Amino acid sequence: MLIGMMKRIILSRHMVLDAKAVIHPTATVHNIRKQRHAIRVGANTHLKGELLTFAHGGEISIGEYCYVGEQSHIWSAARISIGDRVLISHNVNIFDSLTHPVSPVERHRHYHQIITRGHPGQVDLEEAPVRIGNDAWIGCLAIVLRGVTIGEGAIVGAGSVVSNDVPPFTIVAGNPARVVRELDPDER
């Protein structure tokens, strides 16, 4: 109990954390951007995975009553917005950038700077915001890539790679993820 409270106090220095949010022992927060408001977690949200903002930018906002499962990684260099009541299963990866430059020369420079001086304050990672609507469910081992919007109530099947927008109230699956079906009115 004491360790959990200490972790909460430490993490609260690096993010805006609602008093009713629950931070589990497996949770990690790397706010490399060093701006507390860059990461926000809402009431009754349970965080078991990792949140990370890059030095040159990035914002993560997670609504109320959400769940971020163990070994899930949410990395932002632009903006990742997660609505209310969103379930992000375990081992999910969500990225709003390429995470490294495309050019091998620039990629090596980027890597070298990270290991010698830390994350750079300026780098082009072709960022594009990610938005996840209220009541969405992201299945285990799914990957959500930059620029994607996942609509309200949508379900992403386990192991899917989401590289295009997902319409509201649909189920998508596969690599690349494709619409499997629309949810029936009683499933919404």
Domain coverage including residue 113: 2-135
Number of domains comprising the chain: 1
154, part of any domain: no
Q: How many CB atoms neighbour CB 171 within 10 A?
A: 19
Q: What is the largest CA-CA distance in the chain?
A: 55
Q: What is the pLDDT of residues 26-85, one digit of tens each?
A: 999 999 999 999 999 999 999 999 999 999 999 999 999 999 999 999 999 999 999 999
12, part of any domain: yes
Strands 67-68 and 28-31, by their bridges, are unpaired
141, part of any domain: no
Over residues 99-126, the mean pLDDT reads 92
Over residues 103-109, the mean pLDDT reads 93
Strand partners, 46: 22, 67
92, part of any domain: yes
Look-up of token digits 């899917």:
160
Nearest 5 degrees, angle CA 99-CA 125-CA 136?
Answer: 60
pLDDT, position 13: 79
pLDDT, position 14: 84
26, part of any domain: yes
3-class DSSP state of 113? helix
What's phi and psi for 40, nearest 5 deg? Answer: -130, 135
CA 26 – CA 33 distance, rounded (Å): 22
Instruction: Work out the pLDDT band at 6, boundaries 50, 70, 90.
Output: low
CA 107 – CA 143 distance, rounded (Å): 22
The active-site residue out of 56, 100, 108, 110 is: 100
What is the torsional sign of CA 108, 96, 94, 52? Answer: positive
pTM for this structure? 0.93
- CATH at residue 74: 2.160.10
Give yes or no: 90 in active site.
no
